[in-house]
Structure 1
Amino acid sequence: MTIFNVDPGAVAILKMRCGVDYDGYGFGDAYFRELLSHMGLEADQIDAARFAQEHFNLLFGFLQAKQKEANAATIEDENRALAKVQKAVQKLARELQSLATVGDASVRLYAELENPTGAVFSHKGTTIANALGDPMIDPFRGLNGLLSDLRVGLERAKIQKPKSLEPPRFSGDLKQYEAEKSEYWLQANAQQSEIDNSEERYRERVRQHGQPTNSPLITFVMVFQEIWEDCSDLPFTEGRYEADLADTKYISRTVDAAEHCLIKFGEAYPRSLIVRKIREVREAKVAWAS
């Protein structure tokens, strides 16, 4: 019977959220004793149940990071979602304008919005009535202005290279000309080249988008560092480089322990990559602390 027990409730949550069976990994006493040996510890020096739970959290965090990486939306996915809303906003603005041509429907709508009678028309003291226009000339001017702002905001929220703009020329097709004029207006307002550098904004957003490369491994190292520093007196380090060593290259108990865990987790990261991420996480923590 193992001394490294994990709360059954936590095991059930792992199964539900990550679809894996904790017992299937085979984390027996021999595995934990070898891990502790890498950390310079013996089983009788630690609280086995607490250590097992911290190790469980390490696995859980790693698997969740893998799920997040696998399910991460691409730039194209996000742009398509923004464009879909954009089309709906544009359609709403057109339909709102055309309402004036259908009997007295727009007149009654204006009256209802001008004098709201229920909370459905209000949010924190702001009402649609604040955005209405002249009831005789352009009753929904303010609303359409807000929709225009929303459409421009959706365009600016996309991650895409700025387009070269030229005003459209009328070629005889009025419908096409109106569409091109609308697109030109949208792009001109979205780029705001006199205020910000669209090309620079694009590059920065591409850089910031999504997660860093090997983010599950980074997550693993960050959590593992907390466990290591909480339990072991040995330094958390990638160790020293030894050129004469055929494959290992770096002599490090930290790397040995990390490899021991990751292999059991079903991952075979190159040792050089583990070394690099341990160094990056360690140095980042030192820099933050200073």
Structure 2
Amino acid sequence: MIGDKSPGSVDFWCDAWQQVRQSSLLKTTQKANPEKWLDFYDRVSDIWLEMWGNPWVLGRAVGHALCQKGDLDQNTRVLDVGSGPGALAVPLAGLAKQVTALDNSRGMLRTAQVNAKKHGLSNLETWWGDWRDYKPLDLYGLVIAGFFPPAMGPDGLGSLESLSKGAVALVIGTGSETVPWRRELWSRIMDKPLEFSNLHLTCALNYLLTSGRMPDLRHFSLPVELDLDKDRVLKYFSSYFKIFGKSGLEVDRILQDWAAPKTTDGRIKSRGRVEAALLVWQKPGA
């Protein structure tokens, strides 16, 4: 697949990671139709965290791990790239000096500000726009990106490092999902199985290792319970499948049929697990 390049070389993992990105339908649509993804993020910013179950369990675990490692304390300025509604930024703000939540979705940033206020936090600020245009006056002690597709590649990691004066961190999914709802609906609506892969984690870890960065790896497996209003869940998935050109009466029927056996008194409940990995390393030369 990669020719005669050695699996122990950084070039091997650069090429492998590029092939993973090119073979991913999700990544392809994110590149080809960014406006559709942005519309989706704006539409679902109010329910995004609810779809995680306990919205703060992962952020708190990540913050605790970063504090243990010495990369986060009350004197640290943090940049959360692709912050969404604050799943990481809000818990980290409770442990840091100041957190900047950066995202190109205004809806997500408004929700992040609301969530910070609910937690009594005044040290979370937001920056709206393309992360490649962000030019801070001072570099950050910690730059983190969680489930942020544009960071998934050598160039993306280099861009994260350019904003840090010390620690850099990635939170990456391990290929599993909190609950199988999206997988179930994808098979019905897209008429094919949803791709399953932990290759981004594999490529990120090996790229960092072969490039001499020596990252620390932590894995989280955290139980959560979901208890959601059915109509809000259907709104979420209706907005999601519009990204891929799937909408209309037939999609609405599939969503209603899928939800019916899962619904009690207008609510959908489920138990699941948040599975994620945390990679932390020091910027070269820091």
**TM-score bracket for this pair, using the shorter chain length:** under 0.3
Q: Flag the structure with higher helix content.
A: 1
- Larger radius of gyration between Structure 1 and Structure 2: 1
Q: Flag the structure with higher strand content.
A: 2
* TM-score for the superposition, normalised by structure 2: 0.21
* TM-score for the superposition, normalised by structure 1: 0.21
